[in-house]
Structure 1
Amino acid sequence: MSGLRYVYAVCHPFGAALQAQLTGVAGDPPRLLNHHGLIAVVSHVPEADFSEEALRAHLEDLDWLAATARAHQQVIDALTAVTTPLPLRMATVFRDDSGVRVMMEEREDDFRRTLDRLEGRVEWGVKVYVETEPEPSARPAPPGRKATSGRDYLRQRRMQTRAHEDQWAKAEELATRLHETLSSRADDATLHAPQNPTLSGAAGRNVLNAAYLVRRDVSEEFVEMVDRTKDDVPGIRVELTGPWAAYSFAGEETTREENAGEGT
């Protein structure tokens, strides 16, 4: 089949089979390209969509980007179920198999070091949110507490503002404590910038956006540690996602959520 070569990930050889009906970007099933004892997971994509010029044009097409990101992530997820992949950036494309092999040779030492570090490990994401409250000026007074004067109104505003500040302080304290606890159980951890709620669509203000590299054999214990904090403080939400391929620890320039179009 003609076309360019789209590369999803590099990994050590593995014996388990991928899902029989698995398709990748542009609907083409991924295949394994073996070179120097490493595996590149690739599929064919049309040059009309993945040439340098075409990709520049597609950057303006959010529907195309979302569909490509979903197909890319579908392959990474399938790989993560059977091995430890080192995921590459979305739309890593080469002219042919020879181009993929040259890339693998140029980065072979880095690939091997990173794969050895990631072996048997997955990424878990943990976010902490303060549930969004209406601004004090927009929040109605509690029943029986309607302001009867300007002074009373200002007093209620101060009380509401103080309550809001207390909630933020509790959230920051919980986030700090949780991050320290989870980091002690993980092999590595990284803090991402807080999510922009306008881009992520998540409710509330994000105060912790962290990723943890965790051995598969202790992942159940790690999940239980997160679950024990979920209802600690009313009005504060803890979200756990994963297990994912270790995007945040792969040394690539993007994260899983950026590849998937979710925004970090």
Structure 2
Amino acid sequence: MTGLRYVYAVCRPFGTPLQAELTGVAGAPAALLHHHGLVAVVSTVPEADFCEEALKAHLEDLDWLAATARAHQGVVDALTTVTTPLPLRLGTVFRDDSALRTMIEAREDDFRRLLDRLHGRVEWGVKVYMEPEPAEPEPAAAARPASGRDYLRSRRARSHAQEEKWQRAERFAHSLHERLAERAEDFRLHRPQNSALSGTPGQNVLNAAYLVPRAHSEEFVELVDRTKGEAPGMRVELTGPWAAYSFSGEESGGAEPGAVESGTVESGTVESGAEESGMAETRAAESGEEKAGQDR
């Protein structure tokens, strides 16, 4: 069966060996490809599953996507313990090593610049949710609105209360973000997640990533922890530390995680991004499979 080169990350050479028997996507062992003073962390995957057409179909399969993203992340997590990796987008594959080397040569200046910027830094994710309202019991017959006017007045009151709660949530999220941004070197504000897709209760008000020096991470975590009971009805979730997925692309505000553009075929390369349902969502355990000890 023909194989393609799947790439997890690019980093500088490192002396510490990877974990023994480290496997990645499709159960293939991870390997290192050295070129021009950089290292691409790779494995071989079947072309039948990772050619452009197959990838487009797989990205609609959430179970396949979640399993692939977990395997991808497992390799990047292992790298994070021995070096500073520059994670590439989920589903980045090349026809062969020659095509991969060509890409490294074309982008090596950018890779070196980003690796210098990310050295000694990690990503923390912070989400703020407006807790869902408890279900209201069905009113007894005696408590039902006496008229249509009473019913409309009751609905307006509930709508006004909900609007006030949303405004409080936005003010809290904005205040929290400003405090966290002061402690971080950079940040990314991602789209609020869809609770219907993620299965996470509550309405997502803030979905942000912060680039923090590893040496200052304890202070950052303590700051987030102090805010968790600050606003009634608000839930603050912290995940990390991660490799700097959200900061591995070109330096532009609001950039999505990943260093490679999606959906292109160029110079023997097949590249595809998982977008909202891919690496960023999976690594934050939107499916409820949060990694032990990382959720605070």
Query: What does residue 203 of structure 2 align with?
Result: 205
**Identical residues among aligned pairs (%):** 68
Report the alpha carbon displacement of residue 256 of structure 1 after superposing the two structures with TM.
9.0
Alignment of 1:1-264 (within 5 A): 3-133=3-133, 139-140=136-137, 146-147=143-144, 149-150=146-147, 153-251=151-249, 252=259, 253=261, 258-259=278-279, 262=282
Kindly indicate whether the alpha-carbon contact (under 8 Å) linking 2:24 and 2:72 is maintained by their aligned counterparts in 1: yes
Shift in CA distance, 125/142, structure 1 to aligned 2, threshold 3 Å:
farther
Report the alpha carbon displacement of residue 68 of structure 1 after superposing the two structures with TM.
1.4
CA distance in 2, matches of 1:175, 1:56: 35
Q: Does the residue aligned with 1:82 lie in a helix, a strand or coil? A: coil
Q: Note the alpha carbon deviations across 1:186-235, whole angstroms, 9 max, x for none.
A: 00011111111111211111111111001100011101111111111121
Q: Does the residue aligned with 2:227 lie in a helix, a strand or coil? A: coil
Kindly indicate whether the alpha-carbon contact (under 8 Å) linking 2:66 and 2:278 is maintained by their aligned counterparts in 1: no
CA distance in 2, matches of 1:130, 1:260: 21
CA distance in 1, matches of 2:145, 2:196: 37
Compute the TM-score of the two structures, normalised by the length of structure 1. 0.88
Kindly indicate whether the alpha-carbon contact (under 8 Å) linking 1:66 and 1:260 is maintained by their aligned counterparts in 2: no
Shift in CA distance, 110/158, structure 1 to aligned 2, threshold 3 Å:
same
Compute the TM-score of the two structures, normalised by the length of structure 2. 0.79
Q: Does the residue aligned with 1:89 lie in a helix, a strand or coil? A: coil
Count of matched residue pairs:
260
CA distance in 2, matches of 1:245, 1:10: 12
The one-letter code matched in structure 1 to 2:177 is H
CA distance in 1, matches of 2:162, 2:132: 10
Kindly indicate whether the alpha-carbon contact (under 8 Å) linking 1:13 and 1:37 is maintained by their aligned counterparts in 2: yes
Kindly indicate whether the alpha-carbon contact (under 8 Å) linking 1:30 and 1:42 is maintained by their aligned counterparts in 2: yes
CA distance in 1, matches of 2:20, 2:193: 36
The one-letter code matched in structure 1 to 2:234 is I
Shift in CA distance, 152/50, structure 1 to aligned 2, threshold 3 Å:
closer
CA-atom RMSD, angstroms? 2.6
Shift in CA distance, 128/51, structure 1 to aligned 2, threshold 3 Å:
same
Kindly indicate whether the alpha-carbon contact (under 8 Å) linking 2:65 and 2:278 is maintained by their aligned counterparts in 1: no
CA distance in 1, matches of 2:192, 2:81: 29
Query: What does residue 255 of structure 2 align with?
Result: none
The one-letter code matched in structure 2 to 1:258 is G
Once the two structures are overlaid, the 10-residue window that deviates more, 64-73 or 233-242, is: 64-73
Shift in CA distance, 65/148, structure 1 to aligned 2, threshold 3 Å:
closer
